[in-house]
Chains A and B, each alone.
Chain A
Amino acid sequence: MHRYRIISIVLFLSLSWSCEDVIDINLNDAHTQLVIVGEVNNRTNRQQVTISRTVAFDRDRPFDPVSGADVHVSSGSGGVFHFIEQTPGIYIANNFRGRENERYELRVQLGGEVFTAVSTMPTLVVADSIGTALRNIFGEEEKLITLKFQDPPYIPNYYRYLWSVNGTPFEMVHVAQDKFNDGRYVSEDLIDFDLKLVAGDLVTVQMQCIDKATFDFWNAVQTTNPGTAAPANPPSVFGEGALGYFSACAVSEISTVVQ
């Protein structure tokens, strides 16, 4: 985390000299790759698996749905749940709710190929308070949301935070782990530099307790920055054949009005 702070300072310093402009770059049209994203949560009866393909960089829409896959999830306690393609590429099961500490296996069959992944839902950790905090970041007063919770000691925990501001769809803020604060009473600051919070905004935070593989996926995404020596695709639980992840996550939501 300190590294990013340092990098941001360097970038800040450099930017005071530098200039930025949009340019044309010729990128190869690579062969496409399958992308599978599955999620099972403990909050609703609706679970979703998305199947798509990568598209060329200059295409308008980044989502190229893949239809006709056979998708199901089986649970460690013996349940098998089929997913039905509701809109192209979006597969839904409306008949089960995930349970903490349960092991789930996703199986996607597409033509002759089968992709599987396993995820065990972590124990739910719930924030006990939420509020607005003010921080001075490089001379600018920024409003941010702070969550407080007790991290369970002696086990690695991984968290994914999403928020919805004034009813917009949930967007991921960041992922975090307890590598440096295992077992502590944690205050987690949530901030998006592209989104300025103002007093009166209604912010709903979704706190997901995720497994390590899902953390690794999103952590790879969030730590890739222009200074990364060798940016690469985030690690996939499906191996070489497909990008993506399968996350069984324990979810809670908590809201506040920005002060």
Chain B
Amino acid sequence: MSVELLGKLHFFLSVVLIGLSSSTWGQPTYTISGYIRDAHTGETLVGTSLRLKAEPAIGTHTNHYGFYSLTLVGGPHVLVVSHVGYESHETTVSLSEDKRVDIDLSSGELLDEVVVSQPAINEQVRSPQMGVARVDVNEIKHVPVLMGEKDVLKTIQLLPGVLAGGEGSSNFFVRGGAGDQNLILLDEAMVYNASHLFGFFSTFNSDAVKDVNLYKGGMPAQYGGRLASVLDISMLDGNKRRVGMEGGIGLIASRLKMDGPIAGGRGSFMLSGRRTYADLFLKFADDESINNSRLYFYDLNAKANYRINDRNTLFISGYFGRDVMGYASLFGFGWGNATATLRWNHVLNSRLFSNTSFIYSNFNYHVNIDNNDLNFAIASRILNYNVKQDFQFFQSDRSTWRFGVNLLRQEISPANIDAGANSSVNSLRLDSRKGMELAGYLSHEWKPTDRLSVVYGLRANNFLLLGPGMFYGYDADGDVLDGRRYERGDVVQYYFNLEPRLSMSYQLHRNNSVKLSYNRNVQHLHQLTNSTSSLPTDAWVMSSNNIKPQMADQAAIGYYQNFSDDRYEFSVESYYKRMQNQIDYRNTADLQANEHIEAELLYGIGRAYGAELLLKKREGQLNGWLSYTLSRSERRFDDINQGNWFAARQDRTHDVSAVAMYQLSPAWNISATFVYSTGNAVTFPSGKYSVDGRTLWYYTERNGYRMPDYHRLDLGATWESNVSKRFKSSWTFGIYNAYNRKNAYIIDFRENEHNPNITEAYRIALFGIIPSVTWNFKF
């Protein structure tokens, strides 16, 4: 889309929308709009609530970029602006024309002794959106985690409806969905493999993270592409007032961040890096083969923004992260994500906000082997270019429209082998696959009465699988039926789907509400993994002539209640989800470097249902939350388990998390996390037999057994001190798995060492008690 065309479109839209909305009410109305920022850093604030003091039912909140717009009848108004962790702010405006008012909020860092009234902090009761969890990065600062690396992905696992993907893992499962059914966005760019070191650390360096929103259901129509959840992560913009540095030195990684103003405060930048150094210790090893090994990862986050004028702001942000593993020159393995986002915020008028994004995202891995006559390289890549145009039209205090289009071009280059001239293996080249997704959406947030509010919308999704390449059809046994060569630009397969979305709330009293939601989601990108942990080498495929798009329909109902002046939040949500075109694999499927990989796939259906309870105390010396999830997730495939329903691997009946943080003194904060869950579904043998002198296990049922219960207590303590007015230092101490519980990571079976006729089960526990210490500084 050219800029000129966009400009015309903007003009057209302003005319139409203003015509649509003006003078619908009898009294003259005016619009107050602007940005809300942190007073100390100039960082824009997302999700800040603005309400009329006299009539709290009337109000709005800032969007993703900190912009708000509120249309009110003329005259004087007192606005209450509030945001978690900030002092509430009252502004008096007298409206006789449209007004631009930018507001700075002071953060409440020293508020522990001060009682603050936060009259409008009942957003969770009031908002029509359900199934959403917002994680405040400051809030998770004290949550103890493995090896002291604070991690947003591990913190969201402590929320109801989100299950941890295994010991120490940053993988997560939402409402019975698979790992690849989570859409993970970093400044709108898709992140394909959101973990380092096979899942033990997430790719998100929490120093660089501003805001995290997780949608488990009722996803707004602007999001699409995955079935189970949307995890939308924004990076910090950087301090607009002064240059600052912060960093930390931990047991396994160190971090450094720098941010500050550019162009005299018209913009700011943020640069953040992190690197692990487990491999530096390897250098001290006497053994040559160990000190020749490489094992580390690093991350770089960078962002800059520049305010051209009151109406236009540009943002550019990027992420680059890589894992490196190797052994001398014999073996090298590296993988990582790179993303870049260029955004243009344009305030067309006080009520129409536009954002245009150009997004690039790339995930790749490569393997090098150079061992005598065995020398080859494997490389694979997923690449996408994405253009998004979003509009937000603040029609009135009761009505906000969002609409936009999104063009996504995705290319998957499957693992190719490049063999050296004298290598004992052959080179192998598979066709890459190209897909184009064009989506448009319209979403309306509407408050027909003071008690009822609704967000409803529709997303229309066109998917085209494009040539060039050979495309095959397969019969029910996975044998090739036919093959056809397509040229560049040919459409191999086309899918059109409509995805309705609805989320509504009815406020019973000031402090409680009921909500309903329904959403249909469609997914065109599928990760193929037949191991328990997802690996960077997993193959990805797009919807095709063989693979139909995965589809999910979810309905949910919930009850929300705030207590004691909004200090406590309680919610219960219950959902039912139906999934179609789910993917599993034939027995002994060959998912690596296989031209006929689609012949190895089986298609079935799924269902998931459950209830989620959350009780949260959000302020005071003691805060934290208690979460409980009761759930079931099942699949059915004609060719698996005799066509009977079976529990999905991530099916876990009970899951409890308790998080408590206590401010002991201005310097000391102590915290504890306890998790308890019943075991995941797992396949164990129900007998054995002997073939040619080997004992083999006899399996009768897919996922018919359960892993043992899992529980763990983590403890943390933070000691903060202000060395000088500007220089702050803190020590964070942590103990992971404080009572050294041997939770089963793997249960496997073997012949007894002394008597091969006897078979025994054994368990591998991954992490025992692990202490950690991190020193952080900020100036």
The complex places the Cα of A13 from the Cα of B537 at a distance, in Å, of 18
The complex places the Cα of A238 from the Cα of B730 at a distance, in Å, of 67
Q: Which of B532, B699, B700, B744 contacts A229 (CB 8 A)?
A: B532
Q: Which residues of A contact B640 (CB under 8 A)?
A: 230
Q: Do residues A19 and B426 form an inter-chain contact, with CB atoms below 8 A? A: no
Interface size of B by CB at 8 A reads: 73
Q: Which residues of A contact B138 (CB under 8 A)?
A: none
Q: Knowing A19-B742, A220-B588, A229-B530 are in contact, say whether A57-B686 is a contact too (CB < 8 A).
A: yes
Please provide the chain A residues from 11 to 66 with a CB less than 8 Å away from any CB of chain B in the complex.
Answer: 13-15, 17-25, 27-33, 35, 37, 50, 52-64
Please encode chain B, from 689 to 714, with 1 for each CB lying within 8 Å of some chain A CB and 0 for all others. 11111111111101111000000000
A108–chain B nearest beta-carbon distance, Å: 15
Q: Do residues B689 and A27 form an inter-chain contact, with CB atoms below 8 A? A: no
Please encode chain B, from 591 to 619, with 1 for each CB lying within 8 Å of some chain A CB and 0 for all others. 01100000000000000000000000000
Q: Do residues A227 and B533 form an inter-chain contact, with CB atoms below 8 A? A: yes
Q: Do residues B694 and A172 form an inter-chain contact, with CB atoms below 8 A? A: yes
Please encode chain A, from 126 to 148, with 1 for each CB lying within 8 Å of some chain B CB and 0 for all others. 00000000001011000000000
Q: Chain A interface: which of B69-77, B350-358, B626-634, B752-760?
A: B752-760
Q: Do residues A18 and B764 form an inter-chain contact, with CB atoms below 8 A? A: yes
The complex places the Cα of A13 from the Cα of B693 at a distance, in Å, of 32
The complex places the Cα of A56 from the Cα of B700 at a distance, in Å, of 12
Q: Do residues B683 and A171 form an inter-chain contact, with CB atoms below 8 A? A: no
Q: Chain B interface: which of A75-83, A97-105, A182-190?
A: A182-190
The complex places the Cα of A21 from the Cα of B746 at a distance, in Å, of 11
Q: Do residues B764 and A226 form an inter-chain contact, with CB atoms below 8 A? A: yes
Q: Which of B287, B295, B744 contacts A139 (CB 8 A)?
A: B287
The complex places the Cα of A95 from the Cα of B589 at a distance, in Å, of 39
Whether, in the assembled complex, A87 has its beta carbon less than 8 Å from a beta carbon of chain B, the answer is no
Whether, in the assembled complex, A232 has its beta carbon less than 8 Å from a beta carbon of chain B, the answer is yes
Q: Do residues B426 and A181 form an inter-chain contact, with CB atoms below 8 A? A: yes
Q: Chain B interface: which of A1-9, A112-120, A197-205?
A: A1-9
Q: Which of A56, A182, A232 contacts B699 (CB 8 A)?
A: A232
Q: Do residues A182 and B426 form an inter-chain contact, with CB atoms below 8 A? A: yes
Q: Which residues of A contact B587 (CB under 8 A)?
A: 220, 232-235
Whether, in the assembled complex, B763 has its beta carbon less than 8 Å from a beta carbon of chain A, the answer is yes
Q: Which residues of B contact A219 (CB under 8 A)?
A: 588
Q: Do residues B762 and A20 form an inter-chain contact, with CB atoms below 8 A? A: yes
Q: Which residues of B contact A254 (CB under 8 A)?
A: none
Please provide the chain B residues from 127 to 184 with a CB less than 8 Å away from any CB of chain A in the complex.
Answer: none
Whether, in the assembled complex, B488 has its beta carbon less than 8 Å from a beta carbon of chain A, the answer is no
Q: Do residues B690 and A52 form an inter-chain contact, with CB atoms below 8 A? A: yes
The complex places the Cα of A36 from the Cα of B103 at a distance, in Å, of 79
The complex places the Cα of A74 from the Cα of B685 at a distance, in Å, of 35
Q: Do residues B762 and A232 form an inter-chain contact, with CB atoms below 8 A? A: no
Q: Which residues of A contact B759 (CB under 8 A)?
A: 57-58, 62
Q: Do residues B532 and A227 form an inter-chain contact, with CB atoms below 8 A? A: yes
Please encode chain A, from 220 to 249, with 1 for each CB lying within 8 Å of some chain B CB and 0 for all others. 110100111111111100000001100000
Please provide the chain A residues from 166 to 200 with a CB less than 8 Å away from any CB of chain B in the complex.
Answer: 169, 171-172, 179-187
Q: Chain A interface: which of B30-38, B209-217, B660-668, B765-773?
A: B765-773
Nearest-CB residue, chain B, relative to A247: B692
Whether, in the assembled complex, A10 has its beta carbon less than 8 Å from a beta carbon of chain B, the answer is yes
Q: Do residues B700 and A25 form an inter-chain contact, with CB atoms below 8 A? A: no
Q: Do residues A227 and B746 form an inter-chain contact, with CB atoms below 8 A? A: yes
The complex places the Cα of A32 from the Cα of B685 at a distance, in Å, of 12
Interface size of A by CB at 8 A reads: 74
The complex places the Cα of A231 from the Cα of B748 at a distance, in Å, of 11
Q: Which of A15, A58, A63 contacts B690 (CB 8 A)?
A: A63
Nearest-CB residue, chain B, relative to A139: B289
Q: Which residues of B contact A232 (CB under 8 A)?
A: 587, 683, 699, 702
Q: Knowing A22-B760, A172-B692, A243-B689 are in contact, say whether A14-B766 is a contact too (CB < 8 A).
A: yes
The complex places the Cα of A55 from the Cα of B696 at a distance, in Å, of 11
- Name which of B533, B537, B748 has the most chain A CB atoms within 10 A of its CB: B748
Q: Which residues of B contact A70 (CB under 8 A)?
A: none
Q: Do residues B687 and A54 form an inter-chain contact, with CB atoms below 8 A? A: yes
Q: Do residues B686 and A27 form an inter-chain contact, with CB atoms below 8 A? A: yes
Q: Which of A7, A187, A244 contacts B373 (CB 8 A)?
A: A187
Q: Do residues A57 and B694 form an inter-chain contact, with CB atoms below 8 A? A: no
Q: Which residues of A contact B686 (CB under 8 A)?
A: 27-30, 57
Q: Do residues B689 and A2 form an inter-chain contact, with CB atoms below 8 A? A: no
Nearest-CB residue, chain B, relative to A170: B693
Whether, in the assembled complex, B367 has its beta carbon less than 8 Å from a beta carbon of chain A, the answer is yes
Q: Do residues A230 and B683 form an inter-chain contact, with CB atoms below 8 A? A: yes
Q: Do residues B689 and A55 form an inter-chain contact, with CB atoms below 8 A? A: yes
Q: Which residues of B contact A2 (CB under 8 A)?
A: 367, 369, 378, 537, 592
Q: Which of A15, A184, A187, A243 contacts B426 (CB 8 A)?
A: A184
Whether, in the assembled complex, B13 has its beta carbon less than 8 Å from a beta carbon of chain A, the answer is no
Whether, in the assembled complex, B719 has its beta carbon less than 8 Å from a beta carbon of chain A, the answer is no
Whether, in the assembled complex, B723 has its beta carbon less than 8 Å from a beta carbon of chain A, the answer is no
Q: Do residues B698 and A60 form an inter-chain contact, with CB atoms below 8 A? A: no
The complex places the Cα of A184 from the Cα of B187 at a distance, in Å, of 48
Whether, in the assembled complex, B529 has its beta carbon less than 8 Å from a beta carbon of chain A, the answer is yes
Q: Knowing A35-B689, A172-B694, A232-B702 are in contact, say whether A61-B757 is a contact too (CB < 8 A).
A: yes
Q: Do residues B742 and A30 form an inter-chain contact, with CB atoms below 8 A? A: no
The complex places the Cα of A58 from the Cα of B688 at a distance, in Å, of 9
A174–chain B nearest beta-carbon distance, Å: 12
A75–chain B nearest beta-carbon distance, Å: 23
Q: Do residues A62 and B689 form an inter-chain contact, with CB atoms below 8 A? A: yes
Please provide the chain B residues from 319 to 367 with a CB less than 8 Å away from any CB of chain A in the complex.
Answer: 325, 331, 333, 367
Q: Which residues of A contact B584 (CB under 8 A)?
A: 230
B461–chain A nearest beta-carbon distance, Å: 29
Q: Knowing A18-B765, A230-B703, A232-B587 are in contact, say whether A25-B688 is a contact too (CB < 8 A).
A: no
Nearest-CB residue, chain B, relative to A31: B700
- Name which of B537, B687, B693, B762 has the most chain A CB atoms within 10 A of its CB: B687
Q: Which of A23, A183, A185, A229 contacts B531 (CB 8 A)?
A: A229
Q: Which residues of B contact A23 (CB under 8 A)?
A: 744, 747, 761-763
Q: Knowing A3-B537, A6-B537, A233-B698 are in contact, say whether A32-B687 is a contact too (CB < 8 A).
A: yes
Q: Do residues A28 and B700 form an inter-chain contact, with CB atoms below 8 A? A: yes
Q: Which residues of A contact B588 (CB under 8 A)?
A: 216, 219-220, 223, 234-235
A95–chain B nearest beta-carbon distance, Å: 22
Q: Which residues of B contact A223 (CB under 8 A)?
A: 588
B202–chain A nearest beta-carbon distance, Å: 17
Q: Do residues B425 and A60 form an inter-chain contact, with CB atoms below 8 A? A: no
Q: Do residues B761 and A30 form an inter-chain contact, with CB atoms below 8 A? A: no
Whether, in the assembled complex, B470 has its beta carbon less than 8 Å from a beta carbon of chain A, the answer is no
The complex places the Cα of A14 from the Cα of B199 at a distance, in Å, of 12
Nearest-CB residue, chain B, relative to A189: B374
Q: Which residues of A contact B425 (CB under 8 A)?
A: 180-181, 184
The complex places the Cα of A229 from the Cα of B703 at a distance, in Å, of 9
Q: Knowing A21-B742, A60-B757, A180-B426 are in contact, say whether A33-B748 is a contact too (CB < 8 A).
A: no
A94–chain B nearest beta-carbon distance, Å: 19
Please encode chain B, from 555 to 577, with 1 for each CB lying within 8 Å of some chain A CB and 0 for all others. 00000000000000000000000
A-B contact pairs, 11 of them (CB 8 A): A2-B592, A6-B333, A14-B764, A22-B761, A27-B705, A63-B689, A181-B426, A226-B764, A230-B585, A230-B702, A230-B703
Considering the complex of A and B, which 9 residue pairs feature the smallest CB-CB distances, nearest first? Answer: A30-B686, A54-B687, A220-B588, A62-B690, A63-B690, A54-B698, A25-B761, A226-B748, A226-B746
Q: A14-B764, A229-B529 are known contacts; what are 15 more A-B pairs with Cβ within 8 Å?
A: A2-B592, A7-B535, A20-B763, A27-B685, A28-B686, A54-B687, A54-B689, A57-B749, A62-B689, A64-B689, A179-B593, A180-B425, A220-B588, A221-B694, A231-B697
